[in-house]
């Protein structure tokens, strides 16, 4: 029986890293020894048992170095792969876990291919004793090849779990179960015998989105102001001076800032900066009460600060109308 064809794009990260030995679980990155896509597949030949995997060399870098130029290039690469390989069943992108959720959500908002796109990483390098890299990669390929994965937007697969790009976040520095979906839980599981789903995301997702990044060289500047007791607005004023078009207020739950922080954010809104209130809690919705409305703040629904930043950046490429912005945050 013919195996499905799946493309594997390597971007580096822990999943592509080799350390000093099997017990080097944490300091491996200091070596800078990262494999490209074809080397990762050679390291884990079991991938060939589940699909015909096409290695696509991109870059091999730590994920903190990834930003808009890479997101745009990866989005375009997905489109090109589908055009060049009409028999492709899915695409897997290997990625470092530090910014994995941001890449996944950005692609979920911008990629224009209808077949599954799956982002995968690992908590332990490929050289480590009991590395999770090989199993995560095999499972990601299985998920990308599964017809049941179509129409769910960009997916994230680690630790046998399948998450929606919009909802998943990294919750632990070292544990293999680090990626979690607060409030809602996984979409499904990649078990040894089957890929099974139990729910679907509701919010609008790839490829049916209104954002077009083809003509963009950069995104509008959006910064994050993180609330803490005694905050005095210095960060917000610095962001304004740097030319921020938008500021995400990562406030106290359920959506508040220290008094001086709030006044600085309100001044930013009066000067035309789009201020979007979310929380640092990591779970739950924000509420646009009287104080936020009167200050001209918008709300991020239940997006965490880093994902709210991405959505606001893209929203600013098509509108500055507050009602249109609120619609976008309710939609995506």
- Active-site residues: which are they? 14
- What does the pLDDT read at residue 160? 98
- pLDDT band of residue 25 (cuts 50, 70, 90) is very high
Which residues constitute the domain of residue 36? 5-197
If asked whether residues 20 and 169 sit together in one domain, one would say: yes
How do residues 80-97 score in pLDDT, each as one tens digit?
999 999 999 999 999 999
Mean pLDDT of 42-49: 98
- Is the pLDDT assigned to residue 151 strictly greater than 80? yes
Q: What mean pLDDT, rounded, does the chain reach?
A: 97
Task: List the one residue out of 87, 78, 80 whose CA is nearest residue 9.
Answer: 78
Is residue 215 domain-resident? no
Domain CATH code at residue 119: 3.40.50.1170
Number of domains in the chain: 2
How far apart are the C-alpha atoms of 174 and 313, rounded to whole Å? Answer: 30
Over residues 144-167, the mean pLDDT reads 98
Mean pLDDT on 253-264:
97
Q: Which tens digits make up the pLDDT trace of 271-306?
A: 999 999 999 999 999 999 999 999 999 999 999 999
pTM for the model: 0.97
DSSP letters along 286-297, please?
----HHHHHHT-
Residue with tokens 């990260």: 13
Q: Express each pLDDT in 195-221 by its tens digit.
A: 999 999 999 999 999 999 999 999 999
Model confidence at 1: pLDDT above 70 = no
d(CA 219, CA 129): 41
Is 203 a domain residue? no
Q: How far are the Cα atoms of 81, 104, 143, 221 from residue 6, in angstroms, in the given order?
A: 10, 18, 10, 35
């Amino acid at each position: 029986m013919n195996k499905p064809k799946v493309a594997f794009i390597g971007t580096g990260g822990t999943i592509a890293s080799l350390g000093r030995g099997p017990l080097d679980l944490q300091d491996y990155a200091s070596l800078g020894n990262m494999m490209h896509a074809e080397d990762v597949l050679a390291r884990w030949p079991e991938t060939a048992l589940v699909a015909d995997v096409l290695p696509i060399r991109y870059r091999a870098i730590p994920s903190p170095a990834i930003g808009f130029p890479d997101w745009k290039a990866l989005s375009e690469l997905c489109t090109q792969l589908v055009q060049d390989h009409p028999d492709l069943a899915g695409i897997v992108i290997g990625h470092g876990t530090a910014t994995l959720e941001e890449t996944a959500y950005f692609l979920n908002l911008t990629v224009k291919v209808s077949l599954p796109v799956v982002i995968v990483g690992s908590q332990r390098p490929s050289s480590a004793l009991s590395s999770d890299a090989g199993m995560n990669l095999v499972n990601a390929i299985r998920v990308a090849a599964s017809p049941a994965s179509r129409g769910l937007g960009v997916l994230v697969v680690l630790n046998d779990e399948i998450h929606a790009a919009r909802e998943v976040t990294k919750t632990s520095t070292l544990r293999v179960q680090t990626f979690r979906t607060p409030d809602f839980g996984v979409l499904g599981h990649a078990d040894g015998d089957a890929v099974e789903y139990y729910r679907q995301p509701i919010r609008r997702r790839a490829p049916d989105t209104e954002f077009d990044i083809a003509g963009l060289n950069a995104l509008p500047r959006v910064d994050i102001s993180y609330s803490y007791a005694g905050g005095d607005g210095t960060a917000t004023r610095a962001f304004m001076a740097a030319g921020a078009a938008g500021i995400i207020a990562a406030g106290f739950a359920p959506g508040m800032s220290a008094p001086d922080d709030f006044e600085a954010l309100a001044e930013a809104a009066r000067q035309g900066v789009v201020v979007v209130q979310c929380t640092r809690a990591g779970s739950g919705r924000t509420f646009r009460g009287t104080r936020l409305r009167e200050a001209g703040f918008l709300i991020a629904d239940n997006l965490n600060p880093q994902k709210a930043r991405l959505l606001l950046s893209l929203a600013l490429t098509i509108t500055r109308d507050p009602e249109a912005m609120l619609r976008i945050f309710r939609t995506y």
